[in-house]
Amino acid sequence: MASLPATASEPRSAWRFAVLTTVVVLLVLALLAAAVWLSIEGERRDTHDRLVQVTDQAALTIKARLGETLQTLQLLATDRQVLDDESSFHATATQLFASNGALFRLEHRASSGSLLRSADAAVPRAQAIAAARRERPAAEPLATMRSAAELGLPRYSQPYWVQVADDFGFDVMDLVVPVPRLATRQERQSALVATYSMPMLLEALAPPNYLQLHQVWLTESDGAMIARAAFGLRGRGVYTASSTIDLPGTGFVLRANSTSDGPRVIPNLMTGMLILLTMALVASGLMLARDIRLRARAEQALREAHAFRKAMEDSLVTGLRARDLDGRITHVNPAFCEMTGWRADELIGSRPPMPYWAPEAADQYEQRRAKVLAGAVGREGYETIFMRRDGERFPVLIFEAPLIDESGRQTGWMSSVLDISEQKRIEALNRQQQEQLQGNARLAMLGEVASALSHELNQPLAAITSYATACQNLLDKPRPGAIAGALQRIREQAERAGRVIRSVHEFVRRRAVQREPVDLASLLTAVDPLIRLQAAKAGVVCQWRSPEAIVVHGDRILLEQVLLNLTRNACEAMVESEPARRVLEIETRQFADTDSGEERHWVEVAVLDRGSGIDPAALESLFTAFRSDKADGMGIGLSFCRSVIEQLGGRLTGEPRPGGGSVFRFTLRTAPAAVLVPA
């Protein structure tokens, strides 16, 4: 009885339970991760919201304190007795300095900017600012005074820098309050100018506990620094907040960076309890998985017997036959019974000779049976003949394998039997079809030879016709030298036609070409008259120059056919082009490559035209045989050219030409020893 690995025969219920346990553990872990993330995010959000709230409150406090000072200055601006009396002005200013620590200078200035009265706070920086103002009057207060006078409302100036000493200075801000003029008195327009120290504005007006817990600074709307608190705190960069302080005529931003760290990984006891619960769940899952493995081992024998029987019954195409060590049949499947025509109860227990053995092959069966029982048969299959119950013979393919029980002991042999009658029939049919295809291939080859010959002979025959016509014309005006030349050309083209027939015949018959040294310059010179002849018919101008003396390996006649085919196609493509664009160009260049590890020298010949070009959709089928875009074309020229070039070890390609037209290039390998030879 065959045995199966324990991992392959575990009960489905155990597998489902293991999957369910894994899913539950993953869900709990996901829940734990989500709880930790939500707890951390909640704490971060709460801390940030508190910072935003206290920053907004601090901004409101600063703005309220500035508003109180503004109200006081507006009352002072209406008190003409205090403004006109020096001592009263100083006494009022002293009280104002005491109530607002950020205010250190109060001035009464005329609309022209001239100073009428001034008072300074009893702090060193106020005296320094007063001295600096006397030496270098700032332009910012004057601009703010003009704006306040035009509007008739209090205005704040933009914060500006005041240099007190060479290495000391700070930003200040002016508050301008217009002094109303009395209708009963004719006087000039004037205003009260209160100067704030921006660093002191934070320390004096912001809440003290706010400054002690955060790094605080003032910036302009674009982020430029104005002033920072002098407590020396440095924020951690985890929680930041900002709030805008809008004032008449100016505005700035109050920014705060908290000194608090980020949330802890385990922020509360509940998260720790979830971790312990998860660990307990994982431990219980591992213990349960161990118990499942133990139960699976206990059920091993039952699973093996069930899997063996199920595999036998499911093999409906392949016949299975089990025999013990004595050769007695112990089991057959329905496919084997259907194959031989005998029932299972008739076959089980049978000893040789078997009822499905053909009598004429009895000796062969006995020899094979003896080898199988002796263990001298490998895993490869062997063919033999079986007999159905009705006497019909049919070929079978048999594979033998040892039958091993769950303890690892061999109890017999298992045979897999395949009926190969259909396979044999298909093989015979394939052989017949192959013979027919070979005959068809020979017929197709004959058609290809005929097409190639008819295509390639058009050029020399056309040349012979042209030269014969020229001779006939010369007979009217005798020119012996010209007639002799034309007759010589006729003889050459006739010989060339014969060479074409022989070369194409050899090429098709042997699928190989003659490789001999060919001078590329002389080859171009030889086909030059024919190229110019077909170019003149299409009104095409030929432009090329003979290359340097380059020797290539190839078949001269077939290379001439390649050049004539490519140039004829180029001329025909330019028939409908404008006369100025009908130019046929032939270019040559030499190059070398080392892709194969050794340096190889090549020559490339390109045929360029300015005709109708190549349709990009037709590039893939450009060299397909019997396909042509011309009404009278046979579609064999480009296919023939590519075959010739590939047989010579080169490559032929075609592509559209930039600006219109097409380019056909082919490469040939030069002589291995010396690329250039003397001219």
What pLDDT score was predicted for residue 663? 92
State the residue for tokens 């499905």. Answer: 356
DSSP β-bridge partners for residue 357: 386
Average pLDDT over residues 182-201: 76
The yes or no reply on domain 315-419 and CATH 3.30.310.80 is no
Would you say residue 152 has pLDDT above 80? yes
Average pLDDT over residues 540-562: 81
Q: Give the residue-averaged pLDDT of 502-514.
A: 53
Rounded CA separation 258/18 (Å): 49
Higher per-residue confidence, 189 vs 545: 189
Q: Which residue has the higher pLDDT, 386 or 315?
A: 386
Quickly state the pLDDT bin for 183 (edges 50, 70, 90). low
Q: How far apart are CA 240 and CA 55, in angstroms?
A: 10
Q: In 3-state terms, what secondary structure has residue 176?
A: strand
Instruction: Give how far the C-alpha of residue 418 lies from the chain's centroid of Cα atoms, to the nearest Å.
Output: 49
Q: What are the CA-CA distances from residue 503 to residues 482, 508, 615, 626 (Å)?
A: 31, 9, 32, 21
Q: Give the pLDDT confidence of 45-79 residue by residue, as tens digits.
A: 888 888 888 889 888 998 898 888 889 888 888 88
pLDDT at 80 over 60: yes
CA dihedral (407, 408, 414, 416) positive or negative: positive
Cα separations (Å) of 8 from 4, 308, 452, 677?
7, 13, 65, 75
With a CB cutoff of 8 Å and minimum separation 6, the contacts of 64 are none
Q: Which residue carries 């001298």 as its tokens?
A: 376
List, for residues 273-321, the tens digit of each pLDDT value: 777 777 777 777 788 878 788 877 778 777 787 777 777 666 667 888 8
Task: Transcribe 229-292 into DSSP letters.
Answer: -TT-----SSSEEEEEEEETTEEEEEEEEE-PPPPPSS-SHHHHHHHHHHHHHHHHHHHHHHHH
Query: What is the domain partition of the chain in residue ranges?
Result: 1-311, 315-419, 514-679
| Phi, psi dihedrals of residue 550, rounded to the nearest 5° | -120, 130
Q: How confident is the model at residue 269 (pLDDT cuts 50, 70, 90)?
A: low
DSSP state of 676: B
Measured distance CA(215)–CA(235) in Å, rounded: 5
**pLDDT at res. 664:** 92
Percent above pLDDT 70 for the chain: 75
pLDDT of the residue at 376:
65
Separation of first and last alpha carbons in the chain: 88
- Phi/psi region, residue 509 (left: phi>0; alpha: psi -120 to 50; beta: rest), is alpha
Q: What mean pLDDT is predicted for residues 235-259? A: 84
Specify the CATH class of 1-311 in words.
alpha beta
Longest dimension (CA), the chain: 151
Q: What is the pLDDT of residues 563-616, one digit of tens each?
A: 888 888 888 888 888 888 888 898 888 888 766 556 778 899 999 998 888 877
DSSP lists the bridge partners of residue 324 as 412
Q: What are phi and psi of 183, to 5 degrees?
A: -70, -25
Residue that the structure tokens 């042999």 belong to: 413
The two three-digit tokens of residue 50, written as one number: 């508190």
CA–CA dist 470, 533 (Å, integer): 13
Is residue 652's pLDDT more than 50?
yes
| 567 in Cβ contact with 535 (< 8 Å) | yes
Beta bridge partners of 117: 108
Q: What pLDDT, on the 0 to 100 scale, is given for residue 606?
A: 92
Which residues, 6 or more positions from 477, have their beta carbon under 8 angstroms from its beta carbon?
Answer: none
Categorize the per-residue pLDDT at 384 as very low, low, confident or very high, splitting at 50, 70 and 90.
Answer: confident
Query: Is it true that 315-419 and 514-679 share their CATH fold?
Result: no
pLDDT of amino acid 420: 87
pLDDT-derived band of residue 223, with 50, 70 and 90 as boundaries?
Answer: confident
Contacts of 509 (CB under 8 A, 6+ apart): none
Q: d(Cα 533, Cα 542) in Å, to the nearest integer? A: 10
Q: What is the pLDDT of residue 673?
A: 43
The CATH label, of 3.10.20.30, 3.40.50.150, 3.30.565.10, 3.40.50.300, for the domain at 514-679 is: 3.30.565.10
CA angle 155, 160, 165 (to 5 degrees): 135
Distance CA 276, CA 559 (A): 87
Count of CB atoms situated within 10 Å of the CB of 503: 21
C-alpha 96/C-alpha 401 separation (Å) is 111
pLDDT at site 6: 45
Q: Tell me the per-residue pLDDT of 462-501, one tens digit each, with 9 for 90 and over.
A: 777 777 777 767 676 666 666 766 677 777 777 767 666 6
